[in-house]
Amino acid sequence: MFTPKFAAPRSDAIPLIACDPDGIDDALDTLPNAQTNWARANGFQGGAGECLVLPNADGGVAAAVIGLGTADAQKRGRFLAATGLRKLPKGTYRLSRGLKPAALEEAALGYLLESYRFDRYATQKPMAALLVAPEGVDAARLEIIAAGECLTRDLINTPACDMGPDDLEGAARDLAQTHGATVAVTTGDDLLAANFPMIHAVGRAADRAPRLIDLRCGKAGPKLTLVGKGVCFDTGGLNIKPGASMGLMKKDMGGAAAVLGLAHMIMALGLKVQLRVLIPAVENSIGGNAFRPQDILTSRKGLTVEINNTDAEGRLVLADALAYADEDSPDQIISMATLTGAARVAVGPDIAPFFTDDDDLADALTTAARAVADPVWRMPFHDPYEAMIEPGVADLDNAPKGGFAGATTAALFLRRFVSAAPYTHFDIYGWQPTAAPARPKGGVGQGTRTLLQALPDIMGL
């Protein structure tokens, strides 16, 4: 796992000043005249991602300035300082002034996330600059958060040839060993004996056996159960996806990757919760024993489900896991899944939509998202749409016809399997389609930093 770190403090760290266009004069006026004149002569404007090295008399690096962009640019982007940090030449730097506390923390976390690289299969050029943790930020906490995010990225970026259900189990076991947690796994035909019929049905056609991963940590505090969709590759099953739609399906375990990253943050920070992580890990493959359109499956909860599209498999495996989670009556169940294209149509790839019936929890998530630059958006559990998931020949339909409200009907389907515990569902994308500050193209965590920030309010910690 890539683990980003701040540089060790050192007295000769190079001063680094961050400023926006309105703050240029104040920032430059604090510098020696020669450096001020150099900055002005080079046209430094404080634009987003700008970076300018200020030389000393010997031609070395005396200081550097990076731009934060206009107020409008800051509304339209986040972690903007990270782009400037990426452009710095080799050296160890310290942010000396120019940022308010919230912006300073965002810049520091942005540095850690910008330094991420996925180098399992090819050498990746590391970030040249090292940054000393700025005064006033909780460096250890930020390093833990960044490590959790990088775990999520690593898991999603790994192709299915090396990230099947067995490999996902291995990642969970490694995480458990790190934090002194326990893991129990139910695999293959044992899923039928243990009454996880829909997890088994979705994964039975694959060479690598389906499984339910159950990680637990902590014996005191409120009970928090995270459920992550672990479809390690999704062909669509017998309703096979076209090639263009199958190209990113290594990321269909992004929900599992997200909850494992969040679990690392929770355990490493020592939050006083009884944490449980449930991951139904499968491959949705094509074979003679694959589940079929028009099959009717009986779930762990006893609800019957008519299969109208084998490519709507994520909600099936989550349903059995959610029913199992609910039997323990936790104080909160939160699921995360790369579940529907409809969610992407609604809010695009950058926002993590969530569903909850709890207005106070929704408010806590919205407030937390703004504080940690991790955007989320509440979507409705719209009860009048319940009829859309009731096919008549079975209790539920896994793929209602018509194409309307696909994210909502999927969330309503999942809610049917939770009755004893408060429930929140995140329909994430898990992928950064183009590089952005602190977010290279590839796997990305969504909603996890927001959840971590909101947990004290959500769980009463």
Please identify every residue annotated as catalytic.
241, 315
Q: How many residues are recorded in the chain? A: 461
Q: What letter does residue 194 receive in the DSSP assignment?
A: T
Q: Report the 10 Å Cβ neighbour count for 8.
A: 10
Pairing of strands 91-97, 14-19: parallel
All residues at 6 or more sequence positions from 315 whose CB lies less than 8 Å from its CB, including other chains: 339, 398, 410, 413, 414
Q: What letter does residue 132 receive in the DSSP assignment?
A: B
Q: What is the DSSP string of 244-267?
A: HHHTTGGGGGHHHHHHHHHHHHHH
**Helices 165-179 and 139-157, interaxial angle, to 10°?**
160
Q: What is the DSSP string of 266-333?
A: HHHHT-SSEEEEEEEEEEE--STTS--TT-EEEPTTS-EEE-S-TT--HHHHHHHHHHHHHTT--SEE
Q: What letter does residue 252 receive in the DSSP assignment?
A: G
- What is the distance between the alpha carbons of residues 78 and 107, in angstroms, rounded to a whole number? 9
Q: Which residues pair with 15 in a beta bridge?
A: 94
CB 277 within 8 A of CB 321: no
CB 409 within 8 A of CB 380: no
CB 343 within 8 A of CB 407: yes
**Listed residue (334, 338, 228) closest to 281, CA to CA:** 228
